[in-house]
Structure 1
Amino acid sequence: MPKKIRLGILGGGGDSLIGVLHRVASHINDNYQITGAVFNPDFESNMAFAKEIDVPLNRIYKDFDTLIEEELKLPKDERIQVCSILTPNFLHYPMAKKLLDNGFHVICEKPMTTSLDEAKDLQKSHEKAGTVFALTHTYTGYPMVRQMREMIKAGALGKIHKVDAVYYQGWINTIIHDKEKRSSVWRLDPKKAGISSCMGDIGVHAFNLVEYTTGLKVNELLCDFNYLYEDNKMDVDGTVLIRMSDHVKGVIRGSQVATGEENGLAIAIY
């Protein structure tokens, strides 16, 4: 029986929305084993969460740098092979770069970086490392999305005329209207989230599905983003008109203040 892939997890602790999804995904085909982690920057919380989800404590580290240092001391056939980066956005680039530079494979939540310069630098590190770098646009893995792509590719829909993709959530409503809360959530802090909240978090998934399913590229776009309060100008809602190749036009809609919506992703190709 083949050995499981040794997985490290960075972030994704008890208060993380995405952490449980990565843990579930890692067990779907029984291919991964969580081997080490830094779930939380507070070490006591880190250890407590590891106990809660029944992960061995001997390789729960106090911080990211310690994880790298200690894992590299181990024989290659024992150390973590791949790390999932589930931290706030501003940490994705430095963590991914250090992992690549030390020979680890990387599974990274989007955004990969928060600037073009960082992306170019990370690309150089990846090319030099020759390891796997996976960015988690995971909706492309769903069977119906694959079916849709193959039908379009085979010409079952004929000539594509229009695309309409939407990703609506409502979770930020419980935070955005309270000044103290909206000032303390990292997704609404440009220093931690980058320049975008809604479109950077969920709009990119709709954009990704548009190009993935049609095989066409977005050439031009016109954006109208909205924020709700002058003291926080991070977008929480937006509409994007897109022009694709071959005279195809469409729209991408995203929102984190669509009350009643939990995780409403949909795409229509006409």
Structure 2
Amino acid sequence: MTTNGSLNRKLRMALCGGGQGSFIGRVHATAAVLDNRAVLVAGALSSNAEKSKASAPDYDIPVARAYGSIHELVEKELALPADQRIDFVSVATPNHTHFEIAKTAAEAGFNVICDKPMTFDLKQAEELAEVVKKSGVVFAVTHNYTGYPLVRQARQMIASGELGEINAIRAFYIQGWLRTRLELSDQKQAAWRTDPKKSGIAGCFGDIATHAYNLARYMTGLLPETISCHLKTFEEGRALDDYGTAIVKFENGALGTVTASQISHGRENDMWIEIDGTKGSLVWRQEEPNAMVVRANGQPHKIYTRDPNAPHMNDMGRAACRLPSGHPEAFFEAFANIYRAAYDAMILRAEGKPFETKDTVYPNIHDGVEGMYFIEQCVASSQQGGSFLPIKHPLARK
């Protein structure tokens, strides 16, 4: 079988961010090549040109293709012959830099895979959506939890009516690493996440509640209508929220809650979701991702395990699996599933064929815009004492 079908070659990747000390840059670089469909050939690994070049050997990037900015990257890559230049740019930098990088890459015709939140604010997100529409590039957002096999299993189960009509959703993302003012010690990850100039108008809710909300939307497909939110900063002196909870009213009448914390002692990356339908309910937990509990009154509780060969797995769940049952499959593989789906669209684009931009298996530009609207409306609601505000954005995917 040829690599990437008729393209018959690996897709060429450039990484923005990921310089020395980065966590998420290495995750992107690993996930992107997991299926042997891409190769990392260039990058702007740091806004400091010297640091970018110093970081290049960590990724086997030639020093000549380790650039000091997205603008230098685009200019010099476009000057290369078509059979050498990059196909896509992965954005793994702090929030306040996403827009310029993604916009510059898209305007140059390069596909984009961007970390979340997609931009610094809603205005940037809406402008970026227009750029992507005009340029016709493939644009994916790495809400990576949508890539887990049992999340996709649940999505298809809900869409096919196995749980009946969805009545309630409870989504949580609970951490404890910011219980103290870690940002005062110049810890890199804490410093930018708690800085309004780099993170945006929300802290905890922008960083992790967006994942919980996106997961609820992705799994159920329900469109939101209004939201009420209360945000709180418990660590005195911190500029942004470190705890919050929101109530979401959906168009079908369902109620949802989103709770996020970064100040709960002993909690690591405890994201979980519970979904209640008229025929049954389910619960899935990110820290135990290879099992999902499905319940119905009067029946034994069912534990769905991630098993690509088992009859209980549906098409979406099975397609997201790589390993036989019993071998844990998790964070890197989930990221890679987003990359894999985006690659399929990139190949269609390279072939001059149409590709889906809204109803995609991977989170897309519309999800990115909706995530920014979620953040903006949560902050506005909290400032108004929890007033219910509109939450359905015109660009939200159905």
Q: Which TM-score applies when normalising by structure 1? A: 0.92
Say which SS state the counterpart of residue 161 (structure 1) adopts: strand
Change (3 A) 1:130 1:88: same
Higher relative contact order (CA 8 A, sep 6+): 2
Say which is worse superposed, 227-236 or 177-186, in terms of deviation: 177-186
CA contact 1:108–1:135 (8 Å) conserved in 2: yes
Of 222, 227, 233, which aligns to 2:233? 227
Structure-2 separation of matches of 1:179 and 1:251: 32
Query: What pairs with 1:181-220 in structure 2 (closer than 5 Å)?
Result: 181=186, 185-220=191-226
Moved more, 96-105 or 179-188: 179-188
SS state at 1:238 partner: strand
Residues 93-127 of structure 1: CA distance to partner in whole angstroms, max 9, x if unpaired?
A: 11111111111111111122222222222122111
Q: 2:258 aligns with which of 247, 252, 255?
A: 252
1:90 and 1:194 in contact (8 A); partners too:
yes
Q: Does 1:92 align with 2:98?
A: yes
Distance across 1 between alignment mates of 2:107 and 2:165: 45
Question: Aligned residue for 2:77?
Answer: 71
C-alpha separation between the residues in 2 aligned to 1:220 and 1:173? 31
1:237 aligns with 2:253: no
Unaligned regions of 5+ residues in structure 2, if any? 3-7, 277-398
Distance 1:256 1:135 in 2: 23
Q: Which runs of 4+ in 1 moved over 6 A?
A: none
Match of 2:168 among 162, 171, 179: 162
- 2:68 is aligned, of 58, 62, 65, to 62
Q: Please, which runs of 5 or more residues in structure 1 have no aligned partner?
A: none
Conserved 8 A contact 2:223-2:250: yes
- In 2, distance between residues paired with 1:246 and 1:129? 35
Number of positions where the alignment pairs a residue of Structure 1 with one of Structure 2: 269
SS of the residue 1:185 aligns to: helix
* Contact 2:183 2:191 (C-alpha < 8 Å) held by counterparts: no
Q: 1:24 aligns with which of 5, 30, 35?
A: 30
2:234/2:243 contact within 8 Å kept: no
| CA 1:55–1:177: 2 relative to 1, 3 Å | closer
What SS does the aligned partner of 2:32 have?
Answer: helix
SS in 2 for 1:223: strand
Matched-pair identity in %: 39
C-alpha distance 37-154 of structure 1, shift in aligned 2 (>3 A): same
Mean alpha-carbon deviation: is it higher for 42-51 or for 16-25? 42-51
Q: Residues 45 and 68 of structure 2 are in contact (CA less than 8 Å); yes or no, is this contact kept in structure 1?
A: no
2:129 alignment partner in structure 1: 123
Deviations 1:213-241 (A, max 9, x none): 11211211111111134533301111111
Does 2:13 correspond to 1:7? yes
Is 1:81 the equivalent of 2:92? no
Report the 3-state secondary structure (helix = DSSP H, G, I; strand = E; otherwise coil) of the residue aligned with 1:166.
strand
Q: How many Å apart are 1:17 and its aligned residue?
A: 2.3
Structure 1: how far apart are the matches of 2:184 and 2:58? 33
Give the match's secondary structure for 1:3. coil
Residue identity in the other structure for 1:265 = M
1:12 is displaced (CA, Å) by 1.6
Given candidates 136, 153, 161, the residue that maps to 2:159 is 153
Identify the range of structure 1 (180-189 vs 2-11) with the bigger mean alpha-carbon deviation: 180-189
Q: Distance in 1 between matches of 2:185 and 2:35?
A: 42
Greater mean alpha carbon deviation, residues 82-91 or residues 61-70: 61-70
Question: How far 1:149 sits from its partner (Å)?
Answer: 1.1
Superposed displacement of residue 3, structure 1 = 0.9
- Paired residue secondary structure (2:271): strand
TM-score calculated relative to the size of structure 2: 0.64
Q: CA deviation at 1:23?
A: 1.2
RMSD, aligned CA:
1.9
2:74 counterpart SS class: helix
* Aligned equivalents of 2:17, 2:184: Cα separation in 1: 26
2-structure distance, mates of 1:87, 1:165: 26
Question: Partner of 2:274 in structure 1?
Answer: 268
